[in-house]
Amino acid sequence: MGCRLGEHLAQTSYGALHLPVPEVLAQELRTLLRNAEPGDSRVGASSLLRKMPHLAGLPSVVGAGPDARQQYRQLRRLVERAAELMLPIEDIPQEPPAPRDLQRRYETIKVLISSADSIGGLAWGARQRQAAQIYHENPDTFRKRTTDVLLVGLARKIGDAAVKESNATSIVPVSSGVGVFEDQAKIEADLVSYIRGRNPARARLLEYSCATIMPILQALRDTGCETRILMCHPDAATSEWQRQRILASLHYIRDVVYAGAGAMQIRFYSTSPSLRGREVGERIMVGWYTSRDNPKLDVDDQQQPTVWGHDNPIIASDGDSAEGLILQEWFAAEFEKLWIHRRTRDDGDLFPGNS
């Protein structure tokens, strides 16, 4: 893979976590995927985890408790969640890929990370051959090159998630007031933790493309939260780049994140984007969309990003504070007005799941 285990001291930007470069994490991932699941064997789970010291040392794995079996299961869950995040739309590409390419990539990774028992007892080599077929690639090329590329990408997502978890700034201390956060990344891990820990009954999300909130949507799906989303209709996007980004997000939400499961409604607005926000249980956070201009492109170039929001500051609070209640009531009113706006509509071709 171009990186020997002896190079584990080479550090990335993972900071205090002291994680190795993704290539080393990918080698440990290969160890995880090649070995049979330990089942209910505490000794087997412990032995396997010792072969993957960096993955086994991730905060959420250690936090699963002293039982090696629980730690192993948590590690498998981390890998599955990272696989769901391995989409170029997360990385804000200059040319968003076609939805069919996203689906093929996801299906390929899903086969690679599946346990042997879950796909009919296929061993690692057989899973690689099946994945190569889905990926439409020669099996030898896939085994020698593409598998490594996909595992490095998966390792990078696992490392990024660990950093977010480690650096998360809790908004619990601002429950008596309002907190201001630099951007979405500074609060996302806390919101995901809140969702998984509190199981809120309802959520309202006002978004543009939803391209950067997949971990939040996955948590809402996993906890069965009744979720309503307002997002921009692709036909009302400010550029072709944004239109393709919205379509790619929708495809991923429809076919990967929800796939027919979960209580979810999406309506599409065609008004100009301005307010962005999320009301999840008692948590409320609001921000805004701003305009961007890539000077390397013509001003009317259809690849211009034009509208941006995820790296703008966010105001957040709990609804049980006086300040939070003001934000919550205001956001709820604006959300409901846009939900029934004459330029907002369902679109069964884009999201047929509305009930």
Pair (198, 331) in one structural domain:
yes
Strand partners for 264: 227
Pair (122, 211) in one structural domain:
no
Q: What pLDDT was estimated at residue 244?
A: 86
Distance CA 265, CA 256 (A): 16
Pair (183, 147) in one structural domain:
no
Pair (161, 215) in one structural domain:
no
User: From residue 163, how far is each of 16, 166, 305 by CA, in Å?
Assistant: 9, 5, 27
Q: What pLDDT was estimated at residue 284?
A: 93
Q: Which of 166, 196, 225 is the last residue of a domain?
A: 166
Distance CA 320, CA 283 (A): 9
CB atoms within 10 A of CB 350: 18
Pair (296, 216) in one structural domain:
yes
Task: State the alpha helices, DSSP H only, in the chain.
Answer: 22-34, 42-50, 53-56, 59-62, 68-85, 99-113, 124-135, 139-141, 147-167, 185-198, 214-222, 240-252, 322-339
Q: How many domains does the chain have?
A: 2
Pair (332, 187) in one structural domain:
yes
Distance CA 23, CA 309 (A): 32
Tell me the pairing of strands 283-288 and 290-291. unpaired
Question: Domain range for residue 81?
Answer: 5-166
- Collapse the DSSP code of 288 into the 3-class scheme (helix H, G, I; strand E, B; otherwise coil) and give the result: strand
Pair (240, 130) in one structural domain:
no
223: in domain: yes
User: From residue 40, how far is each of 68, 117, 351 by CA, in Å?
Assistant: 10, 14, 41
Pair (286, 227) in one structural domain:
yes
DSSP conformation class of 110: H
DSSP string, 184-210: THHHHHHHHHHHHHH--SEEEEE-SS-
270: in domain: yes
How wide is the angle at C-alpha 186 spanned by C-alphas 216 and 153, nearest 5°? 65
Compute and round to an integer the Cα radius of gyration of the chain. Answer: 21
pLDDT tens track of the chain, all 355 residues? 333 322 332 334 444 556 678 888 889 999 999 888 887 788 888 889 888 888 888 877 877 777 888 889 888 888 887 887 765 444 433 444 444 566 677 788 888 888 755 444 578 899 999 999 988 899 999 998 999 988 988 888 888 877 766 655 444 444 456 888 877 777 787 888 889 889 999 999 999 998 888 888 988 998 999 999 999 999 999 888 888 889 988 888 887 778 766 688 999 999 999 999 999 999 999 999 888 777 777 877 766 667 777 778 889 888 777 888 889 999 999 999 999 999 999 998 888 866 4
Q: Which of 166, 186, 201 is the last residue of a domain?
A: 166
Pair (88, 180) in one structural domain:
no
352: in domain: no
DSSP conformation class of 137: S
354: in domain: no
For the domain that residue 298 is a member of, what is the CATH number? Answer: 3.30.870.10
Q: 25, 158 in Cβ contact below 8 A?
A: yes
CB atoms within 10 A of CB 300: 7
Distance CA 175, CA 102 (A): 39
Helix axes 99-113, 147-167, angle to 10 degrees: 90
Pair (214, 319) in one structural domain:
yes
Pair (143, 95) in one structural domain:
yes
Reference 172, options 146, 147, 197; nearest CA is 197
228: in domain: yes
350: in domain: no
Q: Which of 129, 144, 166 is the last residue of a domain?
A: 166
Buried b (16+ CB within 10 A) or exposed e, 168-202: beebeebbeebbebeebbbbbbbbbebbeeeebee
208: in domain: yes
Global model pTM greater than 0.75:
no
Pair (138, 208) in one structural domain:
no
CB under 8 Å to 209, separation ≥6 — which residues? 89, 231, 232, 242, 245, 246, 249
DSSP conformation class of 315: E
